[in-house]
A and B are shown apart, each in its own frame.
Chain A
Amino acid sequence: MSILGTRVLRTEDPGFLTRGGVYTDDVEDERLAGACHVFFVRSPVAHAVIRSVDVSAAREAPGVIAVFTGADLTGLPALPPPVPGMINDLMNQPLLARDVVRFVGEPVAMVVTQDPYQGEDAAELVDADYDLLPPVVDMSAATAADPIFPDAHTNVAASFGDADQFDPALFDGCETIVTRTIENQRVAPAPMETRAAAAAWGEDKDAGGRLTAWIPNQGAQGTRAVVASMLGIDPASVRIITPDVGGAFGAKFGADPEHGLVCWVARQLGRPARWAETRAENMVAMTHGRAQRQTITIGGRRDGTVLAYRLEILQDSGAYPKFGAILPSLTILMTPGPYSFPRAEAAAVSVLTNTTPVGAYRGAGRPEATAAVERAIDLFAAEIGMDPADVRRKNLLPAFTEPHTTAFGAVYDSGDYTTALDKALAAAGYQDLRDEQAKRRANGDVVQLGIGLASYVEITGSGSEAGRPQENATVEVHPDGSATILTGTSPHGQGHSTVWAMLASEELGIPVDKITVKWGDTDLIPQGGGTGGSRSLQQGGAAVQQASQELLEEARQRAAGELEANPADLVFDIGSSAFTVAGDPDASVPLARLAETERLVVRSVFSAPGATFPFGAHVAVVEVDTETGKAVLRRMVTVDDAGTLVNPLLAEGQRHGGIAQGAAQAFLEEVVYDADGNPLTTTFADYPFLSATEVPSFELADMATPTTYNPLGAKGIGEAGTIGATPAVQNAVVDAVSHLGVRHIDMPTSPQRVWRALREAAAPPAAGTAAPAAGTSESRDAQ
């Protein structure tokens, strides 16, 4: 029986459950003996000229080895934008602020001490003097504000399309048009493990010796490139080792200035250096996610047919343009989602503000597209008084098995969106829910029921600019019957050790617990794309399968020599992991023995024809207390079709986690700044991190349509939950109070926002006094 498709328990778990994972701060290695500890002094103000940084008192503090400021970093260039050509290259981030600080949390100085407690103490003694500059806090104010980088003469970091070129006739012929500006608010990725680094240089550092750096990351090869670039050295001089990684969610790709600086300190002082940031640092200095303001316009006929859709995006990139600045390109790519809108257009501008830089966060641009179009569909449905499920059915693309190319250039590999929606509605008991809702509405109950839907399609495993999506794997069988896999992916909770072993076991007949999976050491695995964008199984897993099959062919040749038989006459018996001559069961040789005289190892690169497009539908059920505005999530029912599942247990885990993060964005999470650019959500006491009491158990319905883009039939599953759940929950909260005249509530749908929306719906504000937080709304009958 095939092991694929079965619920194999994770081989990684016993260690995590007993001694705990070995995260960067846990690494014990002789190369790190006697390491000093780095603590960063960060800007307490959003925008200012640095008049002086006095480190004399800090230098005298107990245990202090050195204190460095930006002036000490001679020869270290500023960090270039991650995507040259797309992002304004006059907006580079110095590793330590030099003349100007541009967000609260920007590193200004480093205190290096014998032990970590001393660093926190001494950092207090660094006396920086600032001349405040006016901060740009709200992204809508950015284009008109003085440029944060005067030399750039603009706060626009990147733009995609041109709203000035929008088709003035786009909505011609529409009977109903609804437009609204909505927030896809800034959130914190907040992996449980904060950022960290440990660095040691080889003995021959004066001769340009090599750096070994332990850094939590999502792809060591990419991290190596950024670290080398920050230090101005050849990537071949850098070895990145990836310890266990305590969650990443997109925010641990590449490397941040702090990582490069810890390596620099180790070189400068000639001794190993370590760093582990506090949560308060993490909340202001790790990149944030989302942060889009979207203007959506949707128009169509009163029978529910959408004729046109427009999406205009303002992306807050934060103080330095990173991946966040190009997120809108992914949002735009997915503008129409699973719908067959006859006309659609989109454009985006990414601007700088004096806030924490924005980067990738679980979904990275695609949740924003789904959130926009799913809110638009509901706004349209409410306007014409039609059930939102019916409006979706009427506009979803019909099922297709041949690739479908959208007006935005996305090539959907396969999809059956209506079936996904119908399955989700059936699993939720949609009609019963609507009946219950009608009853509560008729009774005028204080606690109202809301049902929210989201249909989605997303892009996973997209290729790089270099070409088609691909990943490598090396499989080696050892004489003792064990095997080792090297992979270019980089798990941080996803369970690749188990699943990659399952894939090799399926081909080679070696038990899963005898297969070791390695990743994240750039000396061992120089190439690799890492783990992100829900790419790993469909490319890295497919590479493991391919390498295993190629290894078996190599072994077959060796076995033929051993058994003096024609290779074609050999049968590989999975159960015994041995080749046997057909018709002669006594003539047999174990796979492991074929590795005795010469290493039995194959490296293979799998290339996919393109990205895959998983899809699904989510149904959220909420209760909203109309007196307090408090929304409680009661049920989440989801269909997430990611093609064939290799390990359903782990795929469900990915869905659960994504659903929770998506739901949390909808009703809880938000990074908040005051008008001066001071972050107000810098601890887990202030940032509403989701707890176990705030979500129900999730109800997952099955649907698996294999893709033809890889032999596994697998699409990505890592980000589906965040993509579907966020608009489903938001739509549910709005739906709970829609009969009271509410059409939209921005995320997070906090009690305050719900309560305010209810008050405004009951007594609409006079013209010209609309509360800005509620956005602007306009609807009209065109004919």
Chain B
Amino acid sequence: MKVRLTVNGQDRSDDVEPRLLLVHYLRQHLGLRAANVGCDTTSCGACTVLLNGKSVKSCTVLTVQASGQEVTTAEGLAPEGDLHPVQRAFRAEHGLQCGFCTPGMVMAATGLLAENPHPTEEEVRAGLEGNFCRCTGYHNIVRAVLTAAGTMSTGATTSTESAQ
């Protein structure tokens, strides 16, 4: 089936199998490998991307469903060589270790902050409930999201336009 979509600001058109999952389209067809596959059951969130600015698990979206829409992955969050405030906060707070959940976690956090720019710790935890991390115990991930909320709202950091 023919699909046309915008991925990280670039127009893409392809002929894909109807059953092709968005995460596999991104990884195998476009070579965008930040989004990972960590489970088979839409549980872990390692594949999270933004679809029209809202976080979705790309293992549970068919590529054909994303046709005509805008997809943002961790690769497209900031210009090459720069970090988005959420990415910068993850680094500053040591919010990643092995990195496997990280792109998905960053996209989920970005989606969360778009909906709720000033979350409490409890709201951050609830907002990330669908994204699993085995390394950090979530402690520094939560710190990172709260830090990012602070910098994004005050504009203290030179904020990169995210492609939402």
Interface residues, chain A, with chain B CB atoms under 8 Å away: 9-10, 12-14, 16-23, 25-26, 28, 117, 190-194, 244-247, 249, 276, 278-280, 492-495, 649-650, 652-653, 656-661, 683-685, 689-693, 695, 697-698, 721
Contact = CB atoms under 8 A, between A and B. Distances in A.
B139 A697 contact: yes
B83 A14 contact: yes
Nearest to B31: A28
Given A20-B99, A493-B97, A14 B91 contact: yes
Interface centre among B36, B74, B77 (most CB of A within 10 A): B36
B134 A9 contact: no
What 4 A-B pairs come out closest when comparing CB atoms?
Answer: A660-B137, A246-B100, A20-B34, A493-B98
A656 B74 contact: no
A684 B134 contact: no
Given A191-B134, A493-B135, A684-B44, A279 B98 contact: no
Contact of B33 (A19, A656, A658): A19
A693 B125 contact: yes
B5 interface: no
Interface string B79-91: 0000100010011
Interface centre among A20, A276, A657, A691 (most CB of B within 10 A): A20
Interface string B109-152: 00000000000010011101111111111111111000000000
A775 B132 CA distance: 33
A279 B96 contact: no
A689 B43 CA distance: 9
B131 to A, nearest CB: 8
Nearest to A279: B39
B98 A692 contact: no
A17 B102 contact: yes
- Chain B facing A: main interface SS: loop
B136 A192 contact: no
B91 A192 contact: no
A10 B33 contact: no
Interface string B39-70: 11101101000000000000000000000000
28 contacts: A10-B91, A13-B90, A16-B102, A17-B90, A17-B91, A17-B106, A20-B33, A22-B33, A191-B134, A192-B98, A192-B132, A246-B99, A279-B41, A493-B98, A650-B94, A656-B140, A657-B137, A660-B138, A685-B43, A689-B132, A690-B132, A692-B128, A692-B142, A693-B125, A693-B129, A695-B137, A697-B121, A698-B137
A22 B102 CA distance: 12
Interface centre among B27, B34, B87, B124 (most CB of A within 10 A): B34
A439 B136 CA distance: 35
Contacts, number: 180
Contacts of A693: 125-126, 129
A50 B140 CA distance: 49
A21 B140 contact: no
A658 B41 CA distance: 25
Interface residues of B, number: 55
Contacts of A22: 33
- Chain A facing B: main interface SS: loop
A652 B97 CA distance: 12
Given A18-B77, A26-B27, A658-B137, 12 more contacts: A10-B94, A12-B99, A20-B102, A20-B103, A21-B102, A23-B36, A190-B134, A191-B134, A247-B135, A656-B139, A661-B137, A690-B132
Contact of B94 (A25, A280, A653, A698): A653
A30 B30 CA distance: 18
B86 to A, nearest CB: 9
Given A18-B74, A18-B77, A246-B100, A278 B40 contact: yes
Contact of B132 (A18, A20, A28, A684): A684
B41 A249 contact: no
Nearest to B137: A660
Nearest to A636: B137
Contacts of B139: 656, 660, 695, 697-698
A14 B136 CA distance: 17
Nearest to B128: A692
Given A117-B19, A656-B136, A18 B44 contact: no
Contact of B98 (A17, A245, A276, A280): A245
Contact of B96 (A13, A658, A721): A13
A9 B94 contact: yes
A42 to B, nearest CB: 14
A200 B102 CA distance: 29
B38 A16 contact: no
A6 B139 CA distance: 20
A346 B93 CA distance: 44
B7 interface: no
B140 A653 contact: yes
